[in-house]
Amino acid sequence: MANLSGNSLFSGIYSGLNNTYSYLSSISPDGLTLDSINEARADSSKTQYINPTFASYLQTNFNSIDKDNDGIISSDEMTNLTNRMSAQGLTKAELTQMYASGASGLSTDTINNILEHFDDMDTNHDGRITSAEISAYSVNSARMEKEDEFNNQFATNMSVFYGSESSSTDDTYSMLSYRYKNSNS
């Protein structure tokens, strides 16, 4: 698996959410409401400035982000959201939702690897992964890959030295058998 950086994943999420929130709230004089998100997403003159993935996330999760239920996502509520994500991590559903269109700048392969190995990365089994868990998994995967390479090379070296048992011809010798063949002549 490629070297995954949990920090780059979460940085992409934070900046994407914050940039989308900032733009949407700047064009919504009464505060960022569900209606203002819907209107901005429907207005073709504004869609070029809106990241559709993160706007969709804000729209879909509006009620859970709007903690005081006043119908407006405030900057404090947005900060609380990103702080919670930073401290507690993201669920598989949140990652899937935010990276459905590759909005982070991370490759689709990277996101698919994270989603595919989500349960392995979630070492505390809380249903969320943090940047530390992603980075630890990446380091552990790289270590295991090097161990596998070493073990495969060791096995190859041993078969060259001792010879291959699958060899069916008399003219195939190992380093060891060649030495004994020459000493018996």
For the chain, what is the domain count?
1
- Provide the residue type at 30 as one letter: D
Helix (H) or strand (E) holding 74: none
Q: Residue 23: inside a domain, yes or no?
A: yes
**Average pLDDT of the residues in 149-159:** 71
- Is 175 part of any domain? no
The Cα–Cα gap between 153 and 150 comes to 5
Structural domain includes residue 71: yes
The pLDDT assigned to 70 comes to 96
Residue type at position 86: S
Say if residue 174's pLDDT is above 80: no
Q: Are 59 and 34 in contact (CB under 8 A)?
A: yes
* pLDDT tens per residue across span 37-86: 999 999 988 888 888 888 989 999 999 999 999 999 999 999 999 999 88
Q: Is residue 46 part of a domain?
A: yes
The residue that leads in pLDDT, 127 or 16, is: 127
pLDDT-derived band at 13 (thresholds 50, 70, 90) equals confident
Contacts with 135 (C-beta within 8 Å, 6 or more apart), sequence order: 4, 5, 6, 7
Which domain range does residue 120 map to? 6-143
Q: Is the pLDDT of residue 34 over 70?
A: yes
